[in-house]
Amino acid sequence: MAETKWLIAGLGNPGRKYEQTWHNSGYQVIDLLSQRHQAPVDRIRYRSLTATARIGGTSCLLLKPLTYMNLSGEAIREALRYNEIEADHCLVIYDDIDLPVGKIRIRRSGGTGTHNGMRSILDALQHTDFPRIRIGIGPKPERWDLADYVLSHVAPDMEVTWRESLVRAADAVDTIVKESLDAAISRCQA
């Protein structure tokens, strides 16, 4: 029996100016997983920064697309095809303005909402049947442009809560890979 592999993609934008922004929440979770599983995300493949991590004995490709958010789907499709990973083993982690800061939601499938990175992935894969972890960043402040908000740096008074949600998202990834999506939904969602 072939080993089950996972692609774990954290959405974000490359470059120092985006490092601590709301929109790079997915990248931040990949960085946590990289540290936790001693798998430096420093190899460039599939137009992404990548690493192979072993989580509970399972081979997982950690992926941070370098295509910028709006073209994330191209990098993810390329990595899935090359590694012969089915879409139901492609776990996507991203920020969500429809959830309050500190909340995470785990879903088996779904739509794009207002997220252009997710829209790119759905366009590239041509279906919605892949799991995802949404990290709440809260709604944009009144009179703010949406792009300005998601690309802004995390407010100091929200940083601890945001970072706690990133850790819970990384815990959820571990639970999904080691146990099941249902186990993560029941234990890690907050």
**Mean of pLDDT values over 80-105:** 94
pLDDT digits (tens, 9 = 90+) for 2-48: 465 999 999 999 999 999 999 999 999 999 999 999 999 999 999 99
Domains of the chain (ranges plus CATH)? 6-188 (3.40.50.1470)
Q: Please check whether residue 33 is in contact with residue 51, taking contact to mean a CB–CB distance below 8 angstroms.
A: no
pTM: 0.94
| Identified catalytic residue from 23, 37, 89, 115 | 23
Known catalytic residue: 23? yes
Residue 2 pLDDT = 46
> Is residue 122 helix, strand or coil?
helix
User: Beta strands of 17-159 (E only): which ranges?
Assistant: 43-45, 48-55, 58-65, 90-96, 104-107, 132-136
